[in-house]
């Protein structure tokens, strides 16, 4: 059995051994349900779809919080307890370790996204909507949230390899995520930057387009390459810090 | 099995370890000793490949630690200082996880883990959650982890730290059982344990090698053969100290305590461990002193350690 898969399984187990996963899920399901209801009532009569409301809620509210929590779990605690030393003196490479931890966190994030999406499905189906149409609407949003979540998780992973302090890790990850949210608005204020660059870095606009079913490959490529880059940096940082 | 040649570690300008060389052969237990901050844990971290050396070479089972880390890790069982474990897992589940990571074939994992559990006397705790284990059983679990995959080399950093005397004895028995099949390097502050377990010792201080060699030979080659303690009663006005020091075999009188009724407790350092009591008894009878206790003790590893590290500290 692949060592990456073994570590992945253990990491997934860790989320559910501890109360972390359960508490995140409880808080998440309760508050998402409440906020979703409030937002649906507020947008009643407008042309905004249910899936757009849910993805905005996920994108602006839950993604930064969950990714920050997950980032705190990556390496900070293992460094402090010495478990990192133990695992890195086994026949396991740093890349295998990073890949397994990242995959486990991504799996958890996907579970969260799918749970949130189930609200929309439930409301749409009970309202007698067209299932094919609902799935088409949801796919764009899921795709974007998943890719963007993957990207910000890789940033969290990178930050976690840089600092043994969980609080610093959480703060920096949160700041990095919000920097991407506001990057588009900040760049918009600088006149000399070409329009295509401004469009490219305006992440919230891409989010809206995906929710409307407009699938644009540019942000997906951006998030994917960004993820690879930050994972590569994480591997290098861990190898260098191991060899310091 | 373990070959360390001219190992040096620097952090910036600070030299933590300077030109250290030693080796450990199969079937040997080598005690790795030194005061706090001597560089023991740094050396061990370099041996396991967790830290790189600034200069020098480390080979484990013929594999270079820097260049062939994966092969080194397959041949190495390591118990780190604080014995980090995944405390939320169960004993058996944790051992199976590590066994798989160590490359034990999937079909053999169960039987191999059973064998190790049996070897480390963990049978009654195989389903226990690790965080509920006592310190002693956690250490056993750490040793079990080190033994998984049947590595040829074992490196144990402070394996008996924090254990009660009963657990220490049990731990020693486990180590004794392992001696024939493995090359074992143990770092510890409990010198009496090292003396009992190890064939050879390596003592370092301030990152420098102080002494290495066979434990018995090193103790035999110390300045004195041991100490003799006696309790005698003398007549008033007799100079016991000068009479004792006049004996050829006596190096020095370490202590002289006067009790009531003329009894004196004397501790002397003697040149030869075996011969000194006869000469002392001769002196006692010729002076018509009354003797109620005479016993000799060999130098221990503690004496050797203190002498060696004191010399370095006084330089």
Q: Which pLDDT tens digit goes with each residue over A80-101?
A: 778 888 888 888 889 999 999 9
Q: Determine the average pLDDT of the residues in A187-198.
A: 79
Alpha-carbon gap: B257 to the closest alpha carbon of chain A (Å): 50
List CB contacts (< 8 A) between A17 and chain B: 88-89
Work out the pLDDT band at A106, boundaries 50, 70, 90: very high
Q: Determine the average pLDDT of the residues in A121-149.
A: 81
CB-based burial label for B243 (10 Å; 0-12, 13-18, 19+): middle
Q: Which of A16, A85, A104 has the most B C-beta neighbours within 10 Å, making it the best mutation to test the interface with B?
A: A85
Q: What is the pTM of this model?
A: 0.80
List CB contacts (< 8 A) between B89 and chain A: 10, 13, 17
Q: Residue A160: count other Cβ atoms within 10 Å of its Cβ.
A: 29
Domain with CATH 3.30.70.1340 in chain B: 226-298
List CB contacts (< 8 A) between A86 and chain B: 78, 80, 84-85, 145
Residue A173: name the closest of A63, A58, A68 by CA: A68
Work out the pLDDT band at A157, boundaries 50, 70, 90: very high
B137 vs B170: CA distance, rounded Å: 11
Work out the pLDDT band at A227, boundaries 50, 70, 90: very high
Reduced 3-state DSSP string for chain A: CCHHHHHHHHHHHHHHHCCHHHHHHHHHHHHHHHHHHHHHHHCCCCCCCHHHHHHHHHHHHHHHHHHHHHHHHHCHHHHHHCHHHHHHCCCCCHHHHHHHHHHHHHHHHHHHHHHHHHHHHHHHHHCCCCHHHHHHHHHHHHHHHHHHHHHHHHHHHHHHHHCCCHHHHHHHHHHHHHHHHHHHHHHHCCCCCCHHHHHHCCHHHHHHHHHCCCCCHHHHHHHHHHHHHHHHHHHHHHHHHHCC
B58 vs B41: CA distance, rounded Å: 15
Average pLDDT score over chain A: 84
Q: Determine the average pLDDT of the residues in B282-301.
A: 84
Q: Determine the average pLDDT of the residues in A8-20.
A: 81
Q: Which fold has domain B226-298?
A: Alpha-Beta Plaits (3.30.70)
Pairwise CB contact (< 8 Å): B78 & A86:
yes
pLDDT for residue B164 is more than 80: no
Work out the pLDDT band at B273, boundaries 50, 70, 90: low
Q: Does the B2-220 domain belong in CATH 3.90.550.10?
A: no
Q: Which pLDDT tens digit goes with each residue over A51-63?
A: 888 888 888 888 8
Collapsed DSSP state (helix, strand, coil) of residue B201:
strand
Out of B89, B100, B102, closest to residue A1 by CB: B100
Work out the pLDDT band at A243, boundaries 50, 70, 90: low
Domain with CATH 3.40.50.300 in chain B: 2-220
A122 vs A130: CA distance, rounded Å: 12
pLDDT, position B113: 93
Q: Please indicate if any CB of chain B lies within 8 Å of the CB of A38.
A: no
Pairwise CB contact (< 8 Å): B84 & A85:
yes
CA-only gyration radius of chain A, Å: 19
B89: DSSP letter: S
Per the CB < 8 A criterion, the answer to whether B21 and B6 are in contact is: yes
List CB contacts (< 8 A) between B84 and chain A: 81-83, 85-86
Per the CB < 8 A criterion, the answer to whether B91 and B133 are in contact is: yes
Per the CB < 8 A criterion, the answer to whether B60 and B153 are in contact is: yes
pLDDT for residue B66 is more than 70: yes
List CB contacts (< 8 A) between A10 and chain B: 86, 89, 97
Pairwise CB contact (< 8 Å): A89 & B70:
no
Residue B236: name the closest of B256, B265, B264, B255 by CA: B264
């Amino acid at each position: 059995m692949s060592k990456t898969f073994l570590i992945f399984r253990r990491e997934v187990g860790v989320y559910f051994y501890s109360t972390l996963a359960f508490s995140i899920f409880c808080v998440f399901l309760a508050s998402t349900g409440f906020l979703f209801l409030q937002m649906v009532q507020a947008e009643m009569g407008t042309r905004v779809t249910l899936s757009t409301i849910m993805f905005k809620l996920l994108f602006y509210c839950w993604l930064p919080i969950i990714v920050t929590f997950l980032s705190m779990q990556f390496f900070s605690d293992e460094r402090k307890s010495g478990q990192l030393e133990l695992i890195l003196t086994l026949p396991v490479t740093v890349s295998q370790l990073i890949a397994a931890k990242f995959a486990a966190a991504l799996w958890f994030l996907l579970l969260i996204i799918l749970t949130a999406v189930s609200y929309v499905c439930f409301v749409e189906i009970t309202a007698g909507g067209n299932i094919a149409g609902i799935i088409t609407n949801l796919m764009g949003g899921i795709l974007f949230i998943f890719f963007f979540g993957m990207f910000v998780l890789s940033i969290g992973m990178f930050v976690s390899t840089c600092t043994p302090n969980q609080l610093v890790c959480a703060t920096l990850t949160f700041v990095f995520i919000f920097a991407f949210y506001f990057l588009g608005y900040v760049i918009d204020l600088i006149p000399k930057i070409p329009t295509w660059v401004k469009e490219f870095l305006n992440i919230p606009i891409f989010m809206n387009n995906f929710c409307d079913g407009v699938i644009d490959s540019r942000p997906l490529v951006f998030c994917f390459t960004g993820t690879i880059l930050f994972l590569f940096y994480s591997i290098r940082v861990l190898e260098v810090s191991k060899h310091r | 099995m373990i070959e360390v040649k001219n190992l040096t570690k620097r952090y910036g300008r600070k030299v933590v370890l300077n030109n250290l060389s030693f080796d450990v052969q199969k079937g040997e237990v080598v005690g790795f000793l030194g005061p706090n901050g001597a560089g023991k844990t740094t050396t061990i971290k370099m041996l396991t490949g967790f830290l790189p050396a600034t200069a020098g070479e480390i080979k484990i089972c013929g594999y270079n630690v820097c260049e062939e880390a994966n092969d080194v890790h397959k041949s190495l069982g390591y118990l780190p200082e604080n014995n980090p474990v995944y405390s939320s897992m169960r004993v058996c589940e944790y051992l199976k996880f590590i066994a798989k990571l160590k490359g034990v074939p999937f079909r053999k994992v169960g039987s191999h883990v059973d064998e190790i559990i049996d070897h480390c006397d963990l049978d009654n705790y195989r389903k226990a959650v690790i965080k509920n284990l006592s310190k002693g059983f956690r250490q056993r679990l750490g040793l079990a982890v080190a033994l998984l995959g049947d590595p040829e080399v074992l490196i144990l950093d402070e394996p008996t730290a924090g254990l009660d005397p009963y657990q220490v004895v049990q731990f020693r028995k486990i180590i004794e059982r392992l001696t024939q099949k493995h090359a074992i390097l143990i770092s510890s502050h409990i010198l009496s344990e090292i003396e009992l377990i190890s064939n050879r010792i390596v003592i370092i201080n301030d990152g420098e090698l102080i002494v290495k060699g066979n434990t018995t030979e090193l103790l035999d080659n110390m300045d004195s053969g041991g100490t003799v303690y006696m309790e005698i009663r003398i007549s008033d006005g007799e100079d016991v100290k000068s009479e004792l020091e006049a004996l050829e075999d006596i190096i020095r009188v370490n202590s002289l305590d006067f009790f009531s009724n003329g009894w004196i407790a004397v501790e002397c350092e003697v040149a030869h461990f075996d011969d000194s009591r006869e000469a002392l008894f001769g002196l006692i009878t010729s002076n018509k002193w009354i003797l109620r206790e005479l016993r000799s003790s060999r130098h221990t590893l503690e004496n050797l350690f203190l002498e060696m590290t004191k010399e370095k500290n006084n330089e």
